Amino acid sequence: MLLGSRLLNSGKVATPVYITMLAAECAPVIKVGGLADVVFGISRELEIRGNAVEIILPKYDCMRYDQIWGLHIMMPDLWVPWYGGAIHCSVWFGFVHGRKCFFIEPHSSDNFFNRGAYYGFHDEALRFAFFSKAAMEFLLKTDKRPDVIHCHDWHTGLAPVLLAEVYKFHGMQNQRTCYTIHNFKHQGVAGANILWATGLQRPEYYFNYHQLRDNINHGALNFMKGGIVYSNFVTTVSPQHAWEARHTDQGYGLGHTLHVHADKFGGVLNGVDYEVWNPETDRFIPCRYGVDTLQDKYGNKEALRDRFWLRKDYKPIIAYVGRLDQQKGVHLIRHALFYALWNGAQFVLLGTSPDRDISNYFWHLKNYLNDSPDCHLELGFDEDLSHLIYAGADMIVVPSLFEPCGLTQMIALKYGTVPIVRAVGGLVDTVFDRDHSDRPIHERNGYVFHQTDASALESAMQRAIGLWYSYPEEFRSLIANGMRYDYSWNYPGQHYLNIYEHIRHK
Ligand code: ADP
pLDDT per residue over 124-154, tens digit each?
Answer: 999 999 999 999 999 999 999 999 999 999 9
Instruction: Say yes or no to pLDDT of 504 above 90.
Output: yes
323, HSE (Cβ side, Cα atoms, 13 Å): 18
Report, in angstroms and rounded to the nearest whole number, the Rg of the chain calculated over CA atoms. Answer: 23
Question: Which domains are seen in the chain, by residue range?
Answer: 2-271+490-504 (3.40.50.2000), 291-484 (3.40.50.2000)
Question: What pLDDT was estimated at residue 256?
Answer: 97
Mean pLDDT computed over 268-279: 96
Backbone angles phi, psi at 402, to 5 degrees: -140, 150
Mutate to test the pocket of ligand 1, among 407, 417, 487 (most ligand atoms within 8 A of CB): 407
Chain segment 476-490, per-residue pLDDT in tens: 999 999 999 999 999
Gap between the Cα atoms of 422 and 435, Å rounded: 15
Is 95:67 a contact under the CB 8 Å cutoff? no
Amino acid letter, 245: A
The confidence score (pLDDT) of residue 506 equals 76
Residue 10 binned pLDDT confidence (cut-offs 50, 70, 90): very low
* 367 pLDDT above the threshold of 60: yes
CA 55, CA 43: separation in Å to the nearest integer?
Answer: 8
Measured distance CA(394)–CA(1) in Å, rounded:
47
In DSSP notation, 3-28 reads ---EE-TTS-EE---EEEEE-S-BTT
- 5 pLDDT exceeds 50? no
pLDDT at 7: 35
For residue 414, give Cα distances in angstroms to 35, 241, 432: 19, 22, 15
Mean pLDDT of 90-104: 98
pLDDT at position 505: 87
* CA distance linking residue 395 with residue 242, whole number of Å: 28
SS (H, E, C) 208-254: CCCCCECCCCCCCEEHHHHHHHHCCEEEECCHHHHHHHHHCHHHCCC
Percentage of residues of the chain with pLDDT beyond 90 = 96
CA distance 12 to 200: 41
Q: What is the pTM of this model?
A: 0.93
pLDDT score, position 12: 53
CB-ligand 1 contact for 381 (6 Å cutoff): yes
What is the reported pLDDT for 8? 38
State how far the Cα of 355 lies from the Cα of 330, in Å rounded to an integer: 12
CA atoms within 13 A on the CB side of 253: 18
pLDDT given at position 1: 29
404 CB near ligand 1 (under 6 Å): no
Any ligand 1 atom below 6 A from CB of 350: yes
Q: Is 486 helix (H, G, I), strand (E, B) or coil?
A: coil
Confidence category of residue 11, pLDDT binned at 50, 70, 90: very low
Whether the CB of 425 sits within 6 Å of ligand 1: no
Whether the pLDDT of residue 159 is over 50: the answer is yes
How many angstroms does the Cα of residue 488 sit away from the middle of ligand 1?
17
Q: In this predicted model, what pLDDT tens digit does every residue of 22-60 receive, in sequence order? A: 999 999 999 998 999 999 999 999 999 999 999 999 999
Q: Atom 22 of ligand 1 has which residue's CA nearest to it?
A: 381
CA angle, corner 265, sides to 260 and 266, nearest 5? 140
Task: State the Cα–Cα distance between residues 435 and 206, nearest whole angstrom.
Answer: 52
Task: Judge contact between 429 and 403, C-beta under 8 A.
Answer: no
The answer to whether 191 and 221 are in contact (CB under 8 A) is yes
pLDDT of residue 271: 97
Using a 6 Å cutoff on CB, does residue 319 contact ligand 1? no
For residue 385, which atom of ligand 1 is closest to its CA? 25
Residue type, 276: V
Closest atom of ligand 1 to 386 CA is: 25
Residue 340 · residue 347 · CB < 8 Å: yes
Average pLDDT over residues 47-76: 98
**Hey, is 341 helix, strand or coil?**
helix
To test the ligand 1 pocket, which listed residue (35, 269, 408, 411) has its Cβ within 8 A of the most ligand atoms?
408
Per the prediction, the chain carries an average pLDDT of 96
Distance 323 CA to ligand 1 centre (A): 6
- Average pLDDT rounded to a whole number, residues 291-302: 98
Which one of 35, 383, 413 would you pick to mutate in the ligand 1 pocket, going by the greatest count of ligand atoms within 8 A of its CB?
A: 383
For residues 295 and 416, what is the distance between their CA atoms, to the nearest angstrom?
11
**Per-residue model confidence (pLDDT) at position 15:** 86
Q: Residue 9: is its pLDDT beyond 60?
A: no
Residue 14 has pLDDT above 90, yes or no: no
Residue 6: pLDDT band (50, 70, 90) is very low
Residue 380 has pLDDT above 80, yes or no: yes
Give the residue, out of 284, 381, 389, 411, with the most ligand 1 atoms within 8 A of its beta carbon, to mutate for a pocket test.
Answer: 381
